[in-house]
Amino acid sequence: MIGSGTMGHGIAELAALADYEVNLYDITEERVLSGYQKIKWSLEKLAEKGMITKSQVQPAIEHITPLTDMRVALLEADFVIEASPEDLALKQELFQTFERFVEDDAILATNTSSLPISEIASGTERPERVIGMHFFNPPILMSLIEVIRGKKTSDTTLQITVELSKRLKKRPIVCRKDTRGFITSAIFEGFIGEAMWQISREKIPAEAIDARMKFTEKFPMGPLELADLTGLDIGYHVRKEAGLPNPPVLERKVSAGQLGRKSGHGFYDYSNGVGAKYQAASASSFDPLPLYAMMTAIAARLVQDDAADPQDIDLAMQLGGGFPQGPLAKADEIGLDKIVKKLDELKAKHNDLRYDAPLLLREMASKGKTFYS
Ligand SMILES: NC(=O)c1ccc[n+]([C@@H]2O[C@H](COP(=O)([O-])OP(=O)(O)OC[C@H]3O[C@@H](n4cnc5c(N)ncnc54)[C@H](O)[C@@H]3O)[C@@H](O)[C@H]2O)c1
């Protein structure tokens, strides 16, 4: 396990609980020991809550070896999972280093949430063994692993990664194409990004959007509360790197250093102990159709590109995002004709290509088809 931060320590813990020998690497002793301590603490907590037995704690701890020498960490590794910071150049360099130390048949997986797997693999000599293995936070509790096939990933690499995910007692969902944001991050972009465009263009208060999506539509939290929790700079940089415009409201917040919960301010004020408070009463002033339309367009494009099937997309969003219903099942319920009409209307109004309805969706709508029939 390369990187022992938020994700790395959680993934190492999972693997140790599944009886794998885990070498946990980080760049300094302080960091790797901090990750190691967090694992111990978490295992104790899981045992206290009865989620594992007390007798599982010590063996799991003994399966983990904290290390700061990468060569030693990789020497006998069959499967490497990388969870270093989200930086393409860093990951490319790391994957080239991995190849120098591992056996030829070792698999190299990255936990990136948004960087193209094929680009991470591009500097390696054997890109066929590089794959995306996207865990969710916290890995120990979240049941989804999104497995992403890079352009050159081999069938064997894919099969072994799916099998390992199952042995970690998770539900793997395969994204067959290395498309931007894969399944989950791409659809979250529809949920969160469109909410921010609605604020910028329609002057709708964040509280009204969040109230509607949480209290009426039954998402675990509103998109703006979620954005504050993840950190406003994260989505901002992902869009920037992809050459996409950021909604003006986000531009303003990021340049003012308002990065969400971690900085004390974002769409909500966390400095006064109140935080993301919004009332069910304001839910009725927001029409959620633009958010559903955008999520449908993104999901339909994944189906059109043969990246994933509707059932897998929907299940990924339920397991990875706590969505009450998958976006395509919801689209069927709303009516694909209504969705396409909304996309066309938004595109005409804002001259924005993000609202382009994929051909597949347009055809299905015109023929009266649904994703689940
Ligand atoms: N946090 C999440 O919710 C989440 C969810 C899914 C995927 N991810 C992805 O997982 C990866 C890690 O995210 P995180 O939240 O755990 O970050 P983090 O900052 O908590 O942890 C990153 C760790 O990598 C270490 N590191 C720095 N340079 C390194 C190097 N050269 N070699 C090895 N390790 C190095 C750091 O010391 C740190 O411990 C990112 O690619 C992120 O996009 C994060």
pLDDT tens by residue, 206-261 = 999 999 999 999 999 999 999 999 999 999 999 998 889 999 999 999 999 999 99
| Same-domain pairing of 224 and 274 | yes
Q: Which residue has the tokens 């990388």?
A: 82
Q: Let me know whether 160 and 189 are in one domain.
A: no
For residue 372, being part of any structural domain is answered with: no
Answer yes or no: is the C-beta of 93 below 6 A from any ligand 1 atom: no
Identify whether 238 is part of a domain: yes
Cα 170 to chain centroid distance, Å, stands at: 15
94 C-alpha vs ligand 1 centroid, how far in Å?
13
49 lies in a domain? yes
Q: Specify the pLDDT at position 242.
A: 85
pLDDT tens digits, 136-174: 999 999 999 999 999 999 999 999 999 999 999 999 999
Ligand 1 center from residue 82 Cα (angstroms): 8
Q: What is the pLDDT of residue 48?
A: 98
Domain assignment present for 312: yes
Kindly state whether residues 134 and 23 are assigned to the same domain: yes
Whether 53 and 122 map to the same domain: the answer is yes
pLDDT given at position 95:
98
Q: How many domains does the chain have?
A: 3
Residues in the chain: 373
Q: Of 117, 150, 175, which one is at a domain's C-terminal end? A: 175
Q: Which residue has the higher pLDDT, 34 or 282?
A: 34
User: What percent of the chain lies above the pLDDT cut of 70?
Assistant: 100
Q: Which helix (H) or strand (E) holds 28?
A: none
Residues 24 and 90 in one domain: yes
The confidence score (pLDDT) of residue 274 equals: 86
Residue 1, in any domain of the structure: no
Q: Determine, yes or no, domain membership for 362.
A: yes
Å from CA of 112 to ligand 1 middle: 9
Give the residue numbers spanning the domain of 241. Answer: 184-287
Stretch 83-111: mean pLDDT: 97
| High-pLDDT (> 90) share of the chain, % | 96
Find the CATH number of the domain harbouring 294: 1.10.1040.50
Place of tokens 């998958």: 326
CB-based contacts of 213: which residues, under 8 Å, 6+ apart? 191, 195, 219, 221, 222, 223, 288, 291
Residues 250 and 296 occupy one common structural domain: no
Residues 319 and 211 in one domain: no
Q: How high does pLDDT run on average in the chain?
A: 97
CATH (domain of 57): 3.40.50.720
Which of 96, 113, 136, 233 is the best mutation target for the ligand 1 pocket, counting ligand atoms within 8 Å of the beta carbon and taking the most?
A: 113
Q: Is the CB of 31 under 6 A from ligand 1?
A: yes
Residue finishing a domain among 287, 305, 338: 287
Q: For 174-187, what is the mean pLDDT?
A: 96
Would the pLDDT of 90 be above 90? yes
* Residue 40, burial from CB neighbour count under 10 angstroms (0-12, 13-18, 19+): middle
pLDDT tens digits along 330-341: 999 999 999 999
Based on the domain organization, do 110 and 125 belong to the same domain?
A: yes
Q: Is the CB of 246 under 6 A from ligand 1?
A: no
Question: 136 and 96 share a domain?
Answer: yes
Q: Under a CB-based contact definition with an 8 Å cutoff, are residues 173 and 147 in contact?
A: yes
Per DSSP (E only), the strands in 10-129 are: 22-25, 64-67, 79-82, 107-110
